[in-house]
Structure 1
């Protein structure tokens, strides 16, 4: 869009492509070792920054990891993940800074969570009780699913809870903008418990909180895991019409 064109007057020339970008977004869990040009990443981030935020606070801070910085973070967090698997007591040393999930699960959310987990594991041939395989698959998160680009998102702790709403809109913009470039993503709350490793590694300040991570790159179309499609509730189940 030209900077001289008023936003209110900007036409959407190809509405089906907008819908396709949204509907084709999914959490890719296998990527190709193909570089993503910096100018492409900058363009995606610029477009994402048009996300709305309360009083235009724009609370997002983004750290892009590639090459050695990406690989070293993978090494450190995978080592911690393995250590916790060997000694679960160590998990107490790794805490999320905010509650992403509820302390107590209730229906229908727990049902959807279980369906998601077992459907994915079933596709991968991981049976209930196969803990080593589950651990290895979970650790794929901390390898960015082999994506060449890892993103970390932080928020100043001084900001209120509403900034997380703003952040969600920014992240969705980013993921949809990536689709426009032929790329795929996987937003990851799994990194949050390892903030004590992530934040110093990326050079985040003491007043920053880790919001989540994200893998970004070219999805491996031959990987079976990328055939996984999560269901969605029909509109009539989550919408109330008031007249």
Structure 2
């Protein structure tokens, strides 16, 4: 598979087959991803991979916290800026509506929408989950480098026939995850990643998010 195909076909996979991913293959995948770009070769990421009982333990840890308050725990690093402005808010809302349309869950069926959203905290049934750890003392540049690491993971997963879903929603449980994984005082979880073989028969995996037209996001100078 070439890079162009991997970029084009990659989606946020939200339904997975239960097939386990062999440890040797997961190790090889993560080793390959270490070639991701890194300014100054700092490599500001650290990854925690969980499967089996370890993954179930994370799910069990999250459940009572979210049952008590679906908003999760307080954080000084929200997933989106407060009062997200246009055109970004419209894009965010649109992809949500596209997902619920694919699932045939109408806007007025709020219980069904909440029930589906809860699947985020079960990794959508994926057999493997990653948590990306970053040191809070890192600057915006290093956050960008960590993002390039995540993109590299995604494209290499496509090559293997695996699907991925990046889940910043786990950010609402940062204090609990910090304790659960016994992170260093300055470390934090940035996001979770669900990984596995896609269930191609599930309607949610027909969703292909829209992208803005090139002339809306790129200025060409000197051509």
Q: Aligned to 2:9, which of 13, 24, 40? A: 24
1:176 aligns with 2:155: yes
Distance 1:19 1:95 in 2: 40
Counterpart for residue 144 of structure 2: 165
Aligned residue for 1:3? none
CA shift, 1:229, in A, is 0.9
Which aligned pairs between 1:48-63 and structure 2 lie closer than 5 A? 48-63=33-48
The whole-number CA distance in structure 1 between the counterparts of 2:109 and 2:98 is: 15
Query: Within the alignment, does 1:76 sit opposite 2:76 as a pair?
Result: no
Deviations 1:55-99 (A, max 9, x none): 1110000000111110011122122222214xxxxx4x6023423
User: Which one of the candidate residues 38, 47, 67 is aligned to 2:52?
Assistant: 67
In structure 1, the gaps of 5 or more residues are: 1-15, 86-90
User: Hey, which bits of structure 1, 4+ residues long, moved more than 4 A?
Assistant: none
Contact 1:195 1:210 in 2 (8 A): yes
Q: Which runs of 5+ in 2 are unaligned?
A: none
Rate the CA distance shift 1:35–1:97 in 2: closer, same or farther, 3 A.
farther
Contact 1:97/1:209, CA 8 A, preserved across alignment? no
Secondary structure at the aligned position of 2:133 is classed as strand
Q: Distance in 1 between matches of 2:89 and 2:203?
A: 25
One of 75, 79, 82 as aligned partner of 1:103: 82
In 2, Cα distance between the equivalents of 1:99 and 1:199? 16
Alpha-carbon distance in structure 1 between the residues aligned to 2:136 and 2:85: 29
Secondary structure, counterpart of 1:99 in structure 2: coil
Per the alignment, residue 124 of structure 2 pairs with 145
Could you state the TM-score of these two structures normalised by the residue count of structure 1?
0.87
**SS at 2:101's partner residue?**
helix
- 2:25 aligned to 40, 58, 66, which one? 40
Structure 2 residue 196 is matched with structure 1 residue 217: yes
The separation in 1 between residues aligned to 2:50 and 2:181, in whole angstroms, is 8
For residues 136-184 of structure 1, the C-alpha deviation after alignment (integer angstroms, 9 at most, x for no partner) is 1111110000000010011112211221100110000001011111101
- 2: CA distance between counterparts of 1:214 and 1:82? 22
User: d(CA) in 2 for partners of 1:78 and 1:138?
Assistant: 13
Larger of the two Rg values belongs to structure = 1
Greater Cα offset, 59-68 or 124-133: 124-133
User: Residue 120 of structure 1 corresponds to which residue in structure 2?
Assistant: 99
